[in-house]
Amino acid sequence: MAMTTATGAALAGGIRCTLSSFNNPTRLISRATKLRLPIPFRASSTALLHTQTTHPTDSIVVEKEVSNSSNSLACPVCYDSLTWNGDPPLSLDTIPESIFQCSTCQKTYVGNQTHLDLTATGGAKSYGEPMPASTELFRVPLISFLYERGWRQTFSVWGGFPGPEKEFEMMKGFLKPVLGGNIIDASCASGLFSRLFAKSRLFSFVVALDYSESMLQQCYEFIQQEENFPKENFILVRADISRLPFVSNSVDAVHAGAALHCWPSPSAAVAEISRVLRPGGVFVATTYILDGPFSVIPFLSTIRQSVRQVSGSYITLSERELEDLCRACGLVGFKCIRNGLFVMISATKPNKIAAC
C-alpha cells in the first residue's frame, strides 16, 4: 500500500523555507504545491524510496524523500543551527574531518574518526564534569564491549524485556505516523537499535546518540564489520540527553531504549526531547517500571529515594509517574505496553492549534 506521491521537481528553486518545513518533507511538498513556491533544500538529495520491512506479517511500504538532517544539528551552547564545511552529504564516512560552526557563538565542533562530539564541554582542554554513576558506568570501555555480548540479554532474564528484535517490531507500531522522517536513537549505547533503524530503511536519516565515547566507538566497529550497511544516512553523535544538539521542532522521532532510568534527570531529558520534536513527532522509550503488585513492597518510596540518591538512577518509576512526566513536558497521547518490569511508552508532541 503506497502512501502519498510527491515530485522532487516541486522542490526545485530558491526561496527560504523554515527548518520545520525542511525537516518534514511531506508538509513541505504539500505547502509548496499549494502555494506554488520554489523551495530550497539545503544539503539534501531528494528521491523517492519504497521501503519494505523484512517482517512478513507487517509489510510497510513507505514512499519518502531522502533528506539530509545536517540542518537539524544545533550548537549545544546556544541551540542555533550549525553550518558545515562539507559538500558531500553528511554521513558516517564524512564525519571525520568535518567542521561545524555555530552561527551565533562561533564555537566549532570537529568530527573525529568515529563520531561528532556535540556536548557543551566538547573541545574543553582541562575542564571535565563527572556525571552520576548511571551515566559514568557506560563510559567504561569494558562495559561497552560487553553490552551486546551478554549484558543487554540479562534484561530479558530478570526484567521482562522481549529482546531487541521483538522490541523493534513493537515500537514500529508506535512509530508508524513518522516513518520516512528522521529519527534520533537517544542513548543508543553500541547501537543495537540504531543499526536496525538504518537497515530497515524506514527512516530518511538516523542519528545514533550517546554520552559514552566507548559505546559510540563500539557501535562504529560493529558497523564496520557489516556488509552493505547504509552509512550514507547515518551519523554517530556524542551528546548529553539533557542538552540535545538539535534545532527545536526539527525531529520526527526519538527512540530511547532502556535508558530513561539511567538519565541524571528524566524531566530535563524529556523536556529536551519535547523541544526538538516537531509537532506530531513521536517519542518512544522502554524502561523498567515498579508499581501495581510491586507497590506492596514496604518502604517503597524510601527505597526509591535512596536508590536515586546513591546511583542517580530512576529505575523505580511507576506508570502514573511516566505518564505525568510526559504530560508535564508537553507530550500527549501517552500509551504503554507492559510485561513484568518492562514497559514501552509512547507520547506525541501536539500539533499546533491553527490561529483564528
Ligand X SMILES: C[S@@+](CC[C@H](N)C(=O)[O-])C[C@H]1O[C@@H](n2cnc3c(N)ncnc32)[C@H](O)[C@@H]1O
Residues in touch with ligand X (CB under 6 A): 131, 135, 138, 152, 187-189, 192-193, 210-212, 215, 240-241, 257-259, 262-264
CB of 28 to ligand X, least distance (A): 30
Cα gap 7→163, rounded to integer Å:
39
Is the Cβ of residue 48 or residue 145 nearer to ligand X in the bound state?
A: 145
* Number of Cβ within a 10 Å radius of residue 345: 24
CB of 352 to ligand X, least distance (A): 29
* Polymer length of the chain: 356
Cα gap 237→234, rounded to integer Å:
10
Is the Cβ of residue 88 or residue 173 nearer to ligand X in the bound state?
A: 173
Cα gap 194→183, rounded to integer Å:
9
CB of 192 to ligand X, least distance (A): 6
b/e per residue 11-38 (b: at least 16 CB within 10 A): beeeeebebbbbbbbbebbebbeeeeee
Is the Cβ of residue 85 or residue 121 nearer to ligand X in the bound state?
A: 121
Q: Which residues does residue 49 pair with via DSSP β-bridges, in sequence order?
A: 64
Is the Cβ of residue 11 or residue 236 nearer to ligand X in the bound state?
A: 236
Is the Cβ of residue 94 or residue 242 nearer to ligand X in the bound state?
A: 242
Q: Which of 73, 75, 72 is nearest to 104 (CA)?
A: 75
DSSP string across 288-340: E---GGGGGSTTHHHHHHHHHHHH---TT--HHHHHHHHHHTT-EEEEEEEET
Is the Cβ of residue 242 or residue 249 nearer to ligand X in the bound state?
A: 242
| Cell numbers given for 295 | 507497590
CB of 69 to ligand X, least distance (A): 18
Torsion of CA 337, 330, 178, 239, to 10 degrees: -90
Is the Cβ of residue 26 or residue 265 nearer to ligand X in the bound state?
A: 265
CB of 194 to ligand X, least distance (A): 8
CB of 131 to ligand X, least distance (A): 6
CB of 17 to ligand X, least distance (A): 31
Residue nearest to ligand X (CB): 257
